[in-house]
Amino acid sequence: MAKITLDNLAHSYLPNPKGEDDFALKELNHDWVDGEAYALLGASGCGKSTLLNIISGLLHPSQGRILFDDKDVTHAPTTERNIAQVFQFPVVYDTMTVRDNLAFPLRNRGADAAYVAQRVQQIAAMIGMEDMLNRKARGLAADAKQKISLGRGMVREDVNALLFDEPLTVIDPHMKWELRTQLKSLHHEFGHTMIYVTHDQTEALTFADKVAVMFDGRVVQMGTPQELFERPEHTFVGYFIGSPGMNVLNAEVTGDRAMIAGTQVALGRDFGAPTGKVELGVRPEFTRLTSEDTGLPVTIKRIEDVGRHKIVRADFEGTPLNVIVEEGREISPDMTRITFDPAGVNIYADSWRVAPKGDAA
Ligand code: ADP
Ligand code: MG
């Protein structure tokens, strides 16, 4: 197991990249702490696979270095990195049995037969394929093959890191949950450094201790699920995480006041005088409907009852605003204004969070 350091890393698929736009991965400096379970979360095309393939050595970066425990492996081949990687689609040997597929990475490294037999049995139980060990992989359904791929990724105990690239895409929803739970218990048992790529926030937030959110070739925030929820460092994090995501409104901010389309809003904290494109972000959980004569006037478009709470879809001068109303709270027709709980308000300048005065971060 190892700490993985990305030093000044960047990657372009073009031979002669000109500007930043030509880079699939923009400059990145980051440590992946030894033994932690990470999720790499972002929309399709933001650079997740590119980053993962650079860590595993399938791809060589156009700039910067990768270190495993301070050893430079930037130009080391995949085999020397001692990493297990599972891809989105199954990679199995069709002519081999399930058992031989699972045993392959162990036999390849000269493990003794008794250990191989015992370990294969253990992994087969984790992926729910104990009664299929003697079947040839050929002819198995895509999800069964993907479970074999997953099992092969997990079979070795001596890897530096385990990398998963959207490994549950072809697996049915119930099994997804089951396998994710197995991956988590594998992490607790062996404490491997794990990086799990997904575009699904639920998957990321339930699997990982820390989530790295990627947007447009950048890791815009790395944090615990709670940090991503409470203080999104970038408007994309606010919008991408949460359901519904953070409300974002154009604002003019001076000190502890914001002006939003002519209405003054108290912020509770002093944000100085941010410049550029200034926005106020507040999650639906910290947004309230009121019948009092204060706050932003809105039009309610729709109320959705999702069981645990209601989601009110409102409109403020053409900008959608969502409010989460706890179960049992009445929503009356005279509630035509919206206020924000100052503790849940974040201010952004050019999409990046502005730290209020006295804020530790
Ligand atoms: P993700 O895994 O987040 O969906 P990728 O890392 O696959 O994103 O892709 C990031 C960007 O790099 C995308 O714009 C994609 O089109 C581009 N890209 C990925 N692979 C290649 C490649 N082999 N050659 C050229 N461009 C690529
Ligand atoms: Mg990908």
User: Are 58 and 191 contained in the same domain?
Assistant: yes
Going from the Cα of 49 to the center of ligand 2, the distance in angstroms, rounded, reads 4
The CATH code of the domain that includes 99 is: 3.40.50.300
pLDDT reading at 349 higher than 70: yes
236 located within any domain: no
156 located within any domain: yes
Going from the Cα of 240 to the center of ligand 2, the distance in angstroms, rounded, reads 17
Q: Cα 68 to chain center, whole Å?
A: 22
User: Are 67 and 178 contained in the same domain?
Assistant: yes
To test the pocket of ligand 1, the residue of 50, 58, 198 to mutate (highest count of ligand atoms within 8 Å of its CB) is 50
Q: How long is the chain?
A: 361
**pLDDT tens, residue by residue, 296-305:** 999 999 999 9
Point out the domain boundary residue: 197, 230, 263: 230
Domain encompassing residue 287: 243-354
Please report the pLDDT score of residue 361 as a whole number.
53
The mean per-residue pLDDT over the stretch 150-176 comes to: 90
Q: Which residues have C-beta atoms less than 6 Å from ligand 1?
A: 13, 24, 42, 44-50
The ligand that comes nearest to the alpha carbon of residue 169 is 2
Measured by CA distance, the residue closest to atom 10 of ligand 1 is 47
- Token readout for 50 is 């590119």
96-101: long-range contacts (C-beta < 8 A, 24 or more apart)? 96/136, 96/137, 97/133, 97/134, 97/135, 97/136, 97/137, 98/124, 98/129, 98/132, 98/133, 98/134, 98/135, 98/136, 98/137, 98/140, 98/148, 99/124, 99/133, 99/134, 101/137, 101/148, 101/151, 101/152
Write phi, then psi, for 72 (nearest 5 degrees). -75, 115
- Please, what is the average pLDDT of the chain? 94
> Considering the chain, what percentage of its residues have pLDDT values greater than 90?
84
Going from the Cα of 249 to the center of ligand 1, the distance in angstroms, rounded, reads 32
Going from the Cα of 165 to the center of ligand 2, the distance in angstroms, rounded, reads 7
359 located within any domain: no
Please report the pLDDT score of residue 175 as a whole number.
84
Q: Cα 57 to chain center, whole Å?
A: 22
338 vs 191 pLDDT, higher one: 338
Q: What is the 3-state secondary structure (H, E, C) of the chain?
A: CCCEEEEEEEECCCCCCCCHHHCCEEEEEEEECCCCEEEEECCCCCCHHHHHHHHHCCCCCCEEEEEECCEECCCCCHHHHCEEEECCCCCCCCCCEHHHHHHHHHHHCCCCHHHHHHHHHHHHHHCCCHHHCCCECCCCCHHHHHHHHHHHHHCCCCCCEEEEECCCCCCCHHHHHHHHHHHHHHHHHHCCEEEEEECCHHHHHHHCCEEEEEECCEEEEEECHHHHHHCCCEHHHHHHCCCCCCEEEECEEECCEEEECCEEEECCCCCCCCCCCEEEEECHHHEEEECCCCCEECEEEEEEECCCEEEEEEEECCEEEEEEEECCCCCCCCCCEEEECHHHEEEEECCEEECCCCCCC
Distance of alpha carbon 30 from alpha carbon 66, whole angstroms:
10
118 located within any domain: yes
**pLDDT tens, residue by residue, 200-234:** 999 999 889 999 999 999 999 999 999 999 999 99
Q: 360 pLDDT band (50/70/90 cuts)?
A: low
Domain count for the chain: 2
**pLDDT tens, residue by residue, 162-174:** 999 999 988 888 8
The mean per-residue pLDDT over the stretch 234-246 comes to: 96
Please report the pLDDT score of residue 187 as a whole number.
85
Q: 329 pLDDT band (50/70/90 cuts)?
A: confident
**pLDDT tens, residue by residue, 58-117:** 999 999 999 999 899 999 999 899 999 999 989 999 999 999 999 999 999 999 999 999
What atom of ligand 1 comes closest to residue 44's alpha carbon? 4
> Considering the chain, what percentage of its residues have pLDDT values greater than 70?
99
Going from the Cα of 41 to the center of ligand 1, the distance in angstroms, rounded, reads 15
**pLDDT tens, residue by residue, 42-61:** 999 999 999 999 999 999 99
User: Are 33 and 88 contained in the same domain?
Assistant: yes
What atom of ligand 1 comes closest to residue 217's alpha carbon? 10
User: Are 253 and 213 contained in the same domain?
Assistant: no
Distance of alpha carbon 170 from alpha carbon 166, whole angstroms:
9
Distance of alpha carbon 239 from alpha carbon 232, whole angstroms:
9
Distance of alpha carbon 53 from alpha carbon 78, whole angstroms:
10
Going from the Cα of 50 to the center of ligand 1, the distance in angstroms, rounded, reads 6
275 located within any domain: yes
User: Are 116 and 155 contained in the same domain?
Assistant: yes
User: Are 188 and 304 contained in the same domain?
Assistant: no
Measured by CA distance, the residue closest to atom 23 of ligand 1 is 13
Q: 12 pLDDT band (50/70/90 cuts)?
A: very high
User: Are 214 and 265 contained in the same domain?
Assistant: no
47 located within any domain: yes
pLDDT reading at 192 higher than 70: yes
